[in-house]
Amino acid sequence: MPFRQVFEQSIQIKSSATTVERCITDRTLMHRWLNPALRCDPVGVWSTEVGSKSRFVIKVPLIQPTLESVVLEREPGLIVWGFDGFFKGRDRWECQPDQDGTYLINRFEFEIPNTIVRYGFDRFAADWTKQDMQAQLRRLKRLAEQVYQGLQKV
């Protein structure tokens, strides 16, 4: 039976929630903070409406593991992608406006059905994944604050 894991990260961003949300959902902006080893391709036309599909490809020589993704929930300040591939889960992004700008919460829930893949992930990739999520949030924070201040052209 697969074991469900949850990695949750959060960060305070000095930017409006609409700007932070735009950095998460605009594909061009997304590629500016997303791990450079990941590529996000739309399946059809890019959209973040419920039911829209995309494909996340990990750019690893030879194998390029792929996650099929679909938008499960969408409302202002919230997007939840569900995904399936070498593991299954949800990636939830929530923008909470506050007096200092936006408090962003990213909750990554997943299970790895294959015992061998799960063992390898737990031993070699779990800590890297957590660190990568933190680094992505820091890059997203920098980008959102620059866009909000008008320092980045979109």
Looking at the domain assignment, is residue 123 inside a domain?
yes
Q: Number of folded domains in the chain?
A: 1
| Angle between helix 126-148 and helix 17-25 axes, rounded to 10 deg | 120
Q: How far apart are CA 85 and CA 91, in angstroms?
A: 14
pLDDT at 151: 66
pTM of the model: 0.87
pLDDT at 72: 98
pLDDT at 28: 92
Q: Nearest Cα to 87, choosing from 118, 116, 62, 59?
A: 118
pLDDT at 119: 78
Measured at the alpha carbon of residue 44, what is the angle toward residues 41 and 47, in degrees to the nearest 5?
A: 75
pLDDT at 67: 85
Domain residues for 90? Answer: 4-33+75-148
pLDDT along the chain (154 residues), means of 10: 82 97 94 86 93 87 83 97 88 96 95 78 77 92 94 61
pLDDT at 63: 77
Looking at the domain assignment, is residue 28 inside a domain?
yes
* Tokens (6 digits) for 39: 């590529």
pLDDT at 124: 73
Looking at the domain assignment, is residue 67 inside a domain?
no
Looking at the domain assignment, is residue 48 inside a domain?
no
The CATH number of the domain where 97 resides is what?
A: 3.30.530.20
pLDDT at 1: 54
Contacts of 115 by beta carbon, 8 Å cutoff, 6+ apart: none
Q: How far apart are CA 42 and CA 34, in angstroms?
A: 15
